[in-house]
Structure 1
Amino acid sequence: MSLEQIQARITAAATAAGRKAGAVNLIAVTKTQPEERVVKVLEQGHRHFGENRVQEAESKWPAYRDRFDGIVLHLIGPLQTNKARQAMELCDTIHSLDRPRLANTLARLAQERGACPDLFVQVNTGEEPQKAGILPDDADDFITECRKLDLPVRGLMCIPPLDEEASLHFALLAKIAKRNGLKGLSMGMSGDFESAIAQGATHVRVGSAIFGERPTG
């Protein structure tokens, strides 16, 4: 599937939900994708991209930024505290603020730098023990603590369990965001972004549906 086809599906989903297409940011996820595929999408004018790992982002996005203006880079994968400084220098938005220790580290670095990327709190809506994220029952208190640290929390992010109805998790995330006065909702991937848009997603994270399956080996 092409970038244009995904953009058309986003527009159709937004229209069906009574929303403007421009209210949804498409984050093209480039994890382990070959350079030629990424460059092709850049040449088509797309500028919002997502990376899962700081190390991979460091290895390629400075060079892309030398070639293309206006790139907006999103970190969508787990962030180790020892990589926080690099993430803040590289990324415009971090979608995986998921624990108090990381919040404190980001706040300290933001004070040092005088700037901080936009932040999304990751909520473990499925309460899965193997998955990162604040538990739903703890989300309100955590958001409050982040605000006390002067962190620029813009919204929430989730990754629903694979074996459950994604729309229920999107609705839960939207409910938590609404009661905390947050407008950003980072939710929905290649297989379910239309459902996420129906529930109010402002950022959808799409990789394989744009670039094709990741190379193996």
Structure 2
Amino acid sequence: MHADDRLAAIRGRIAHAARLARRDQDDVTLIAVSKTHPATAIEPLLAAGQRDFGENRVQEAQFKWPALRERYPDTRLHLIGQLQSNKAADAVAIADAIHAVDRPSLVTAIARAMEAQGRRPACFVQVNIGAEPQKGGCAIADVPALLAEARAADLPVTGLMCLPPAGLEPAPYFALLAKIAREEGVGDLSMGMSDDFETAVMIGATHVRVGSALFGARPAVEPSA
């Protein structure tokens, strides 16, 4: 299947899920997760009209995207992986959205970088929705305090992000994230990936992060940076 066919199929599935939930499909942003995939794999999706892309690592984004953005300047880049505080300035410089704000030290670093650069990418607070020790994200109990710190630092926090536990039914975790977002007064929900994005859309996702369903299996070797 060609890239434009895969893209059309995913968009069709998002539209169907949105209709079932009585939502407008235009309220759901499809993020094509291009991490580890080379520019040659990304360009067909750009040519087919896809404009939102997700990368895990700042260094990889810096390597791949400047040249692509010269040809497609309206591309929006989402950083969806764990972010070290010492990479905050680089993240603010290249990203249009940062989906992994999960601790006070990172809030401070991002706020400082935004002030220095005059750029304000949208920020999502990542929640460790399954309380998994191996995963990043803010503990559920700490979400109100972290949001308060982010708002006090004038970060443009637009929503919450989560990665539910692998191998478990994701719907309860998506529903819990949606409940927390309502309670805390944030509107965007970054949740749902290749295996469960339709469920996420039906529960209120505004951003779904789809990689393998668009690109196929990841390359064994990541692009050098």
Q: Which amino acid aligns with 1:68?
A: Y
Matching of residues 1-217 of structure 1 within 5 Å? 2-217=6-221
* Residues 61/129 of structure 1: CA separation in 2 closer, same or farther (3 Å cut): same
Query: Offset at 1:45?
Result: 1.1
Does the 8 Å contact 2:124/2:158 carry over to 1? yes
Tell me the secondary structure at the aligned position of residue 209 of structure 2.
strand
Gaps of 5+ in 1: none
Q: Could you report, residue by residue, the CA deviation over 1:78-121 in whole angstroms, capped at 9, with x for unpaired residues?
A: 11111111110100000000111000111112222233211000
Q: Which amino acid aligns with 1:84?
A: A
Query: Offset at 1:163?
Result: 2.6
Structure 2: distance between partners of 1:63 and 1:74: 17
Tell me the secondary structure at the aligned position of residue 69 of structure 1.
coil
Q: Which amino acid aligns with 1:20?
A: D
TM-score by length of structure 1 reads 0.98
- Bigger CA drift: 8-17 or 112-121? 112-121
Tell me the secondary structure at the aligned position of residue 73 of structure 1.
strand
Q: Could you report, residue by residue, the CA deviation over 1:117-172 in whole angstroms, capped at 9, with x for unpaired residues?
A: 11000000001111000011111111111111111100000000003221111001
Gaps of 5+ in 2: none
Does the 8 Å contact 1:190/1:205 carry over to 2? yes
Does the 8 Å contact 2:194/2:212 carry over to 1? yes
Structure 1: distance between partners of 2:79 and 2:100: 7
Query: Offset at 1:65?
Result: 0.5
Structure 2: distance between partners of 1:86 and 1:108: 12
- Bigger CA drift: 182-191 or 108-117? 108-117
- How many residue pairs get aligned? The number is 217
Does the 8 Å contact 2:39/2:68 carry over to 1? no
Tell me the secondary structure at the aligned position of residue 126 of structure 1.
coil
Does the 8 Å contact 1:140/1:176 carry over to 2? no
Does the 8 Å contact 2:93/2:119 carry over to 1? no
Does the 8 Å contact 1:24/1:204 carry over to 2? yes
Q: Which amino acid aligns with 2:88?
A: A
Q: Segments of 4+ in structure 1 off by > 6 A?
A: none
